[in-house]
Chain A
């Protein structure tokens, strides 16, 4: 989801995100339903075939596929190690194998689905709950989370470099705290600017600028923005679908 979408025209790329997500959910259930080792191996082999075929159909190179699993290997290794120490290496191996397949399948969905399509699907899926939550805002939260992970990672890297340049350590608890505090502060400042940008680009029309941001920037009292009293016909026409 972090910008790993790979453009393509394969049937998997063209499939609706909802269908892909439902397929992923079914595969997850199928992978973790069997209780016996024989059943797990049988379903696992089937899922492995589906995974390899899926990557082949989508035209995604094996190095890209492996790169999706690599970040999770350390935690999977820990799971296996825990089971091995407890004297049940086979169960550990089966759990890890199923997680690897599931991660590969989930990555296949994100590699072949635009974030905007995924978000639109999630937004549509949340519509029945719109009395309780605003689907548009939930979807925007997800978009911003995905979009700003690399931005904050860059900020963290820049902070680490700045601290190292002044003799600060890069590792250890004190280095973590020295990094976390300014990073959180930068994140908060960034959130204000991003809120302004969202507002400037028309997100949340008919709403006043967020109260907290208005107060901090010394904006006029929140809620002063009134419903449009004199709509420019040209602008209004532009808004219509």
Chain B
């Protein structure tokens, strides 16, 4: 459960997010909205990458302000461009990065890396340079690096924006099968099939909070206005 209590967010004199209060408890939550509507800022608030100017965010009872490290261990974050998230030059080393930060060493680390690579079909690529992977493989690697840490919530900020249709579908299937709570920021409305709840952002406010069908209809009307 993610509890958002009366948060506001400003950058200097610009209000990025107006006051918001809501709970996110559903398994699959989508976030859509125009560019600059506050979606990505909202997503970053959920794992404490950004702290709100006012109000608080709590993940499974942990405040992002008071217990940022705990929250970041609970909430995995996948960025739009995997090249910005992949830290080590070799595939298996990168999957191991977060695990080492979490304290894993030796055989436990090696087993966790192997398991993560197998889960994402990257076993054959484990010793390859990350920069030679395709865009889809890089995004899978980014996901593997996050999910290897077994977070309880996965927040994804437009993870399919740079991918072709095949890879978008692959990511959608992976997300559908995840046991974790998923919060997905996207412009790809097809990705929201089967989601429990969709929030529509506009100018820093949530203007619709509904089932995917109704929220998407609202979003389309908003874009056509």
Interface residues of A (CB under 8 A from B): 1-5, 7, 114-116, 143-144, 146-147, 150-151, 154, 190, 193-194, 196-203, 205-206, 208-209, 214, 217-220, 224-226, 228-232, 235, 238-241
Contacts and interface: CB of A to CB of B under 8 A. Distances in A.
22 contacts: A1-B89, A3-B129, A3-B132, A7-B127, A116-B88, A147-B89, A193-B79, A194-B84, A194-B87, A201-B101, A201-B145, A201-B149, A202-B102, A203-B97, A218-B10, A218-B14, A218-B53, A219-B50, A219-B51, A220-B65, A228-B70, A230-B70
Nearest to B94: A147
B105 to A, nearest CB: 5
Interface string B69-95: 110111011010101111111100100
A201 B145 CA distance: 8
Contact of B130 (A3, A226, A235): A3
A240 B87 contact: no
Contact of B72 (A114, A193, A199, A224): A199
A146 B66 contact: no
B89 A3 contact: yes
B60 interface: yes
B103 interface: yes
B214 to A, nearest CB: 32
Most chain A CB inside 10 Å of its own CB: which residue of B47, B52, B131: B131
B95 to A, nearest CB: 11
Most chain A CB inside 10 Å of its own CB: which residue of B12, B61, B79, B87: B87
Contacts of B104: 241
B68 A238 contact: no
Given A114-B90, A218-B16, A201 B84 contact: no
B103 to A, nearest CB: 4
B90 A116 contact: yes
Contact of A143 (B53, B88, B145, B150): B88
A86 to B, nearest CB: 41
- Is chain A's binding surface mostly helix, strand, loop or mixed? loop
A206 B70 CA distance: 9
A239 B103 CA distance: 5
A194 B85 CA distance: 6
B87 to A, nearest CB: 6
A183 to B, nearest CB: 15
Interface of B: 9-12, 14, 16, 44, 47-53, 60-62, 65-70, 72-74, 76-77, 79, 81, 83-90, 93, 96-98, 101-105, 127, 129-132, 145-146, 149-150
Contacts of A241: 103-105
Contacts of A232: 60, 62, 70, 73-74
A115 B90 contact: yes
B103 A224 contact: no
A209 B11 contact: no
Closest 10 CB pairs of A and B: A218-B11, A3-B129, A220-B51, A202-B101, A7-B127, A150-B131, A3-B89, A239-B103, A200-B77, A201-B98
B87 A201 contact: yes
B154 to A, nearest CB: 11
B73 A202 contact: yes
Contacts of A208: 68
Contacts of B76: 200
B67 A231 contact: yes
A162 B223 CA distance: 30
Given A4-B129, A196-B44, A218-B11, 17 more contacts: A143-B88, A147-B86, A190-B84, A193-B79, A197-B87, A203-B101, A217-B44, A218-B12, A220-B65, A225-B68, A225-B69, A226-B66, A226-B67, A230-B67, A230-B70, A232-B73, A239-B103
Most chain A CB inside 10 Å of its own CB: which residue of B65, B102, B149: B102
Contact of B93 (A114, A199, A206): A114
B190 to A, nearest CB: 26
Contacts of B70: 228, 230-232, 235
Nearest to B10: A218
A219 B9 CA distance: 8
